Every structure is written in C-alpha cells, then in structure tokens.
A and B are shown apart, each in its own frame.
Chain A
Amino acid sequence: MRNILVKCVIGIFLLGSLTGCWDMKTIQDTNYMTAVGFDYKDGKFIVYGQMLDFASVAKQEGGQSTQPPLIWVGKEEGATPSEAFNKLYKTSQQRVFWGHIGAYLFTKRALGQGIGKYTDGSIRYSETRFTQWVYSTDQPIESVFSIVPFFNVSPMSSILMQPTDNYRQSSYIVPRRLFGVVSHIREPGQMIMLPSLDIVKDVWLKNEKPDPKLMVNGAYTLNLHHQLEWFSLTELLGLRWLNEHTKRTPLLIYKEGKPIQNVLIKPKSHIKVRVDGDLPVFDLEIAAATAVAEVFELVDEDTLEQLVSKEVTEEVERTFQHGQNRGADVYGLEHVLYRQNSAAWGKLTNYGTNPLTDYKLGNIIVKVKITNTGMLKMKEKNQQY
C-alpha cells in the first residue's frame, strides 16, 4: 500500500514537472522568420529577415482579409552572416525562431563570395532545415520580400516560397531547394542554374494601378569554380529539355516563319559521353512526349514531329552556344563526363582543379511522340452545312 502511494506521488511530481520544460517556447512569444536575404557590400555581409503577420499566414474563417498583409523586413550587417543575424536579435524584441524559413535570397554580390559562406551558419543551426528554396535576384531584397501575391494573401504563397505548382504548369528553370544546391555544388563538374527573381510591374493591374509581381527571369551559374554568369530566360530555353523535373513546357512551332501549332512537352533526356582523343563529345537523346495544345494550321503528324524535333534541337544548341560564348557549362556536362568516364575526367581537368574547357555536343536525337491532341480532334475546321 505504502509502495503504491509512493509511486503515485512520484508520478504526479513527474507529470507536474513536464510543464516546466526548460525548452518550452510559447507561440505568442516567438517571432517567426519566413525568409532570409543575403547581400555583400564593402567587405560587410548584409542579411535581411522577413517576418509576416500571423493573421495573413493562417487561413481564417469568415472570408479573406481585406487588408494587405503586413510584412516586416529587417536588415543588419556584420563581418560574417552570423554576426549580422546576431545583431538582428538586438531589435527583434522576442525570441526569433528560424525553423519556418521558406526561402533564401542572394544578390549577385553575395553569390560572388561563394554560397558556402552563407549557408554554413544556417545549416549548422539546429532549427533550420534543408528544404528552403534558394533564389538569386538583382532587385533590392527588401522590395522582393515585400511583393504581395494576389488577393492580399501572404507572401508565403508567392513563387519565392511555393514555386512547385507554378513550375509544373509551365516549366522553364527548375526551382532549387537548399539541399539540392549544397549537394550538387560539391559534385565535380556540376553546374547549378540558380533561378533569379525579377519584379515585373507592367503585367498586372490592380484596380487599374500597376501591381508588381515576381517572375523568374533567368539564372545564375553556380559551380565549384565560383564562375558567376547570368543568363536570361531566353538564353536558357534549351535547359528545360535536359532537366529531369520538367513536367509541362510549352513550345510554339513555326513552319516557314509562320506560327502553326502550340504544343506541351514532357521531355526525358539521356546524355552519353564518348571521348574522342582528348575531346569529350556529348550525345543527347531526348524523348519528347508531346501534346498538341493549339492548332493554327493543320499539318500531318510526321511533319509536326519533325518540326518539334528541329525546334527542340535548335533550342538545345542555342543555349549550349550561349554558355560556350561565356565559358559556362550550362548543362553541367563535365559532371556527366565525371560520372560516365571518371578516368578521362581526371585526366582532362586534373581531378577537378581546372574546369573542362574543350568539349562539344555530338548527335542530338529528339524522338517526338504525339500523345494526344487535347479536347479537340486533330482536324481542319472546314465550313460545313
């Protein structure tokens, strides 16, 4: 009997002591950082932190809010990024929680320092994870952080923090999460095309007043050799055909300079390298599952397949050429060489100390397969009676 009593007392004591947990953080006493920006100027690392009003983050009953979301952007600088963050605490009033950061945004100057200098501190910290989206921008970070998506919803629904659905509908440059950036940047010869964000003011009007929105307008090249180049979206059109994540990408088909059909393609590519003496040659094979989306002028399937194949080949070659002109291996072909023939890679790059310079594209085979023609038949609409 006495034994049971003692056990009960201990149990009650233990249960009671749970509420006094040392690491208890209450929601209302915490500031949640939602995005972090990095810049670099005159030897100083500048960090930006974005915080949002909870009312605009959480879904509320009784319709959406009529107020635009409240956005705070803080800025501090320091000799290292972590020092700048520590300075940010001085004005943060409450404890800052970093576990819900959705995106990292880098300026060109920041990227020039090497991305590792910024990510070390945040990866090392226990609250942050590897799932944030990583972007670059040439616009002021505070402006990018303050862009509101439609209907006064929070910036957490913009392409900065939720790019996947948008990308699935129209795939050009694949959005990157932090783990993909840090793992690929350390792969020999790999090239990361880090999407860059631009603010577009003249597309959408809100009550006839310009309403700025975010857009991916190109990409910066990131690799082990810190070779930083920016390419515009038009220059990078070929990139989508070699990316495994491309789900649905539109292509306008021309015949003799006239637009005839619009197609949606889900490509699947395979690169094979053969080393010709000391020159690696990369053969590409792209299987393009094509759906006809719009018919301006009817052509037979064979012709369409040929035209699609020609267009895709040209885009791939053009992007490759743009890269070559500026000495950037935009397709990460050196990595393909490393993976498929690491002996040749070791010889040609001195085990990764020099970037691969002499290489070329070999045969590009595009196998087009028309899968469907949408909700309409592939047929001329003749006048009928």
Chain B
Amino acid sequence: MSGKKQITSLQLYMILMMSIGISNHVLLIPVLLHYGKRDSWFGAVLAIMPMLIWACLIYFIVRRSKQEELMGWIQMRLGKWVMHAMQGLVALICLVHAVVTIRDVTMWTHVTYLPRTPLFFITGVFVIFCFFAAREGIKAIAISSGLLLPAVIALGYFVMGANFQYKDYTMLTPLFTHGYGPTFISVLLTCSASFEIMSILVMQHHVRTRIRLRGLLILTVCIIGLTIGPLTGAIAIFGPFESADLRYPAFEQWRMVTLGKYISHLDFLSIFQWISGSSMRTSILLFISVDVLKIQKKSTRSHVLIWICLGIFALCLYPVSDNQMVKWLQNDYYTYMFAAGIVLTLFLLIVAMLPIRGKETKA
C-alpha cells in the first residue's frame, strides 16, 4: 500500500452509504419484518438513539488513534500477536459479509429477471467485476460510489413518491400488540446491521480530511433512515404479515410502480440500484480484507485477492438453498454480527484508553 491518503471523508461516507445502505435495504428488512412485524419500524426508529451514542464512541476511537492505520496502532499498543488476531478477525468478517451479499444478489437476479442464466455465470461476472474494483483500490471505489449514489438515492425517492398512491400508513399501528419484545428485537437487529459503520476505522488512514463527529452522526441517521423508509413503505403497502412473507420486500415495492395508465414495469431501475449497492459493498469488503493484511507489494496483493475471490466464488456456489440462507440470516448472522460489533467496540475502547506508552510518543 502506498502511504498516500487518497479520499476525502465525504467520499468515505458515500462508500458507507452505498455498502451499508444495500444491506440494510435487502438483508435486514426481511429479518426485521420476520421478528418485529408491525412493531419493526418503530424498533428501527428507536435504534437511532443508541446508535448516535455509539457513533460518539467510534469518533472517540478515531480521535485517539489519530486517524492512523488501525492495525499499526493496535500493534503499537498491544503487540504483534493481538494485531494478527485482529487482522484475521476483520478479514473474516469482511469475507462473511461478502459471501452473504453476493449470494443474496445473485439469487435475487436468478429468481427475478435472469431465470434462464446459470447462477455460476451471474456469480462469476459479479465477482470478476468486484475483483477489479478492489484491486484498483479505495479511490476507484470511492469515485464510483460518488457517481452511483446520487442516482440510487434519486431512484429511491422516485419509488417512494410513485407508491404513495398505494400506501396506507394507518397500517403502521397498533403497536405493541405482542408486548415490547418485538420492538426490542428490532432495535437490536438494526443496531447489529448498523455496527458496520465501524468499518471506517479500518479505512480511516486513507482519508486525508478530518473525520468529524457531525459527519458520523449524520451518516448514522442516514443509514438507519435507509432502513426505516422501505420498511414503513412495505408495511403501508403490503401490511406487516404479507410483507413478512415476501422474500424481497424492497424490490416488491419497485414492482408496484405505475404512473397512470401507460407507465408500469419500472422495476428494471431497481436492478441498477441493487447491483450498484451490492457491487460497491462487495468491492469495498474485498478491498478491506486485503488492505488490513498490510501487504506492501502490489503483485502479492493481487495474488492474495485472486485467491480470496476464488474462495468467495466457491462459497457462493456451495449448494445451500436460499431458504436455508434466509433461516441462517434470521437465526445466526445478525446475532454474530451484534456480538462482533459489541466485542470490537469494547476492545477498541479499551485500547484507546490504555495509557500512552513511550514508544508511541516518539512515533
């Protein structure tokens, strides 16, 4: 890695909006609806509170690590072995996220609009694209996110507006018909998915401008807002029970769009949204998983990346049914990610609060 700082904090936020936005849209919402039903949207709204406090903690870590390379900072404070363990953990988390993202987007593609195109082909093309983006580096990913995100957001508002004719927001109530449990679970799930904001810590050393608290807070609200929007939309159109049965509630809203008598079938626009989100997400995850290993030589990095991509490709084609994956997402994935988020935050907070050692003051 060249030590150059390549992107601005705004670009970093755009990458995160893209990559967390897509998972909060398409992975999280079905799970939220499954557990929270009608209360899920309220849980998502409530999650803003703890997440804002949490964002302040992240900001604290950013400041204490002086926005420098996180692994080096950990090594300086706790030594080489802890750093290696962290490297492994971060890379592992990235790869799990990448596999889930690719599996989801390719299965969706296969089920909805390319039923006759073989799955291995869709997956292959997707992985190859993300490989090149990740190899090109964070700057390329940041620039493409910056180009894609405005269009994705504009389309999001379009689908929201076009569907107002079908929405019945009275379906958002009554709340708490099953006690406060479903709301609480929804809060935890939303937090669990949004903990991914933590990935700025492993990208912060590429950012040449200062990461500010205000930026982090706005980012947090936006990312949770990205969940609340389509979630309330799905409940208002399909009701809590039918939308909990839908495999792709966000996409289903796109299919509803009709403008007058002659314009309908605009769901192809969501392909643009979904593919841009997923490819940016996968690319940045691949990038992080290699970047965190701190390999200096470019050709070695490419080789490692190729092997990672091949591994992901194989895992994505490993025959697990979509239903099994949905079950796994519901039962395990978000629990693990919640645990990982909490443990990592606590760990980094402790690291940040360790007294400054002599070596560090010299550096």
A sample of 25 cross-chain residue pairs with beta-carbon separation below 8 angstroms, ordered by A number, consists of A22-B114, A22-B116, A126-B111, A126-B112, A126-B113, A126-B115, A129-B265, A130-B237, A130-B252, A130-B256, A131-B255, A131-B258, A131-B264, A177-B166, A179-B166, A179-B237, A179-B238, A182-B238, A182-B239, A182-B242, A184-B239, A186-B241, A186-B242, A187-B239, A342-B177
Q: How far is the CB of A78 from chain B (nearest CB, A)?
A: 22
Contact of A183 among B115, B171, B255 (CB under 8 A): B171
Kindly supply a per-residue 1/0 record for chain A positions 92-113, scoring 1 wherever the CB is within 8 Å of any chain B CB and 0 otherwise.
0000000100000000000000
Please determine whether B174 and A339 come into contact, CB atoms closer than 8 angstroms: yes
Residues of B near A182 (CB, < 8 A) are: 238-239, 242
Please determine whether A183 and B237 come into contact, CB atoms closer than 8 angstroms: yes
Known: A99-B265, A126-B113, A162-B261. A187 touches B171 (CB 8 A): yes
Q: How far is the CB of B6 from chain A (nearest CB, A)?
A: 24
Compute how far the CA of A338 lies from the CA of B177 in the bound complex, rounded to whole angstroms. Answer: 9
Please determine whether B170 and A339 come into contact, CB atoms closer than 8 angstroms: yes
Residues of B near A276 (CB, < 8 A) are: none
Kindly supply a per-residue 1/0 record for chain A positions 160-196, scoring 1 wherever the CB is within 8 Å of any chain B CB and 0 otherwise.
0010000000000000010110111011000000000
Question: Which residues 231-256 of B have a CB within 8 angstroms of A?
Answer: 237-239, 241-242, 252, 255-256
Residues of A near B166 (CB, < 8 A) are: 177, 179-180
* A interface list, Cβ under 8 A from B: 21-23, 99, 126, 129-131, 162, 177, 179-180, 182-184, 186-187, 338-340, 342, 346
Interface centre among A22, A162, A183, A339 (most CB of B within 10 A): A183
Ranked nearest first, the 6 interchain pairs of A and B with the lowest CB-CB distance are A183-B239, A22-B117, A186-B241, A22-B116, A129-B255, A126-B112
Least CB separation from B111: chain A residue: A126
Q: How far is the CB of A105 from chain B (nearest CB, A)?
A: 20
Kindly supply a per-residue 1/0 record for chain B positions 79-115, scoring 1 wherever the CB is within 8 Å of any chain A CB and 0 otherwise.
0000000000000000000000000000000011111
Known: A23-B117, A183-B171. A131 touches B238 (CB 8 A): no
Q: How far is the CB of A183 from chain B (nearest CB, A)?
A: 3
Compute how far the CA of A182 lies from the CA of B265 in the bound complex, rounded to whole angstroms. Answer: 20
Residues of A near B173 (CB, < 8 A) are: 339
Compute how far the CA of A179 lies from the CA of B237 in the bound complex, rounded to whole angstroms. Answer: 7
* B interface list, Cβ under 8 A from A: 111-118, 121, 166, 170-171, 173-174, 177, 237-239, 241-242, 252, 255-256, 258, 261, 264-265
Q: How far is the CB of B79 from chain A (nearest CB, A)?
A: 45
Least CB separation from A21: chain B residue: B117
Least CB separation from A130: chain B residue: B256
Residues of B near A177 (CB, < 8 A) are: 166
Please determine whether A131 and B174 come into contact, CB atoms closer than 8 angstroms: no
Q: How far is the CB of A318 from chain B (nearest CB, A)?
A: 26
Residues of A near B252 (CB, < 8 A) are: 130
Q: How far is the CB of B288 from chain A (nearest CB, A)?
A: 28
Residues of B near A187 (CB, < 8 A) are: 171, 239, 241
Interface centre among A23, A126, A184, A342 (most CB of B within 10 A): A126
Residues of B near A129 (CB, < 8 A) are: 255-256, 265
Compute how far the CA of A186 lies from the CA of B174 in the bound complex, rounded to whole angstroms. Answer: 14
Known: A99-B265, A130-B256, A179-B256. A186 touches B117 (CB 8 A): no
Residues of A near B114 (CB, < 8 A) are: 22-23
Known: A131-B264, A179-B166. A23 touches B242 (CB 8 A): no
Q: How far is the CB of A88 from chain B (nearest CB, A)?
A: 19
Interface centre among B114, B121, B255 (most CB of A within 10 A): B255
Compute how far the CA of A42 lies from the CA of B265 in the bound complex, rounded to whole angstroms. Answer: 37
Known: A22-B117, A99-B265. A342 touches B256 (CB 8 A): no
Residues of B near A22 (CB, < 8 A) are: 114, 116-118, 121
Q: How far is the CB of B330 from chain A (nearest CB, A)?
A: 19
Q: How far is the CB of B179 from chain A (nearest CB, A)?
A: 11
Compute how far the CA of A183 lies from the CA of B173 in the bound complex, rounded to whole angstroms. Answer: 14
Least CB separation from A343: chain B residue: B177
Compute how far the CA of A23 lies from the CA of B116 in the bound complex, rounded to whole angstroms. Answer: 5
Residues of B near A186 (CB, < 8 A) are: 239, 241-242
Residues of B near A131 (CB, < 8 A) are: 255-256, 258, 264
Compute how far the CA of A321 lies from the CA of B121 in the bound complex, rounded to whole angstroms. Answer: 62
Compute how far the CA of A126 lies from the CA of B166 in the bound complex, rounded to whole angstroms. Answer: 20
Least CB separation from A187: chain B residue: B239
Residues of B near A346 (CB, < 8 A) are: 177
Q: How far is the CB of A339 from chain B (nearest CB, A)?
A: 5
Least CB separation from B117: chain A residue: A22
Least CB separation from A25: chain B residue: B116
Compute how far the CA of A340 lies from the CA of B252 in the bound complex, rounded to whole angstroms. Answer: 29
Compute how far the CA of A99 lies from the CA of B268 in the bound complex, rounded to whole angstroms. Answer: 13
Least CB separation from B237: chain A residue: A179
Residues of B near A23 (CB, < 8 A) are: 113-117
Q: How far is the CB of B177 from chain A (nearest CB, A)?
A: 5
Least CB separation from B247: chain A residue: A124
Compute how far the CA of A162 lies from the CA of B261 in the bound complex, rounded to whole angstroms. Answer: 8
Known: A131-B258, A342-B177. A183 touches B238 (CB 8 A): yes
Residues of A near B264 (CB, < 8 A) are: 131
Residues of B near A130 (CB, < 8 A) are: 237-238, 252, 255-256
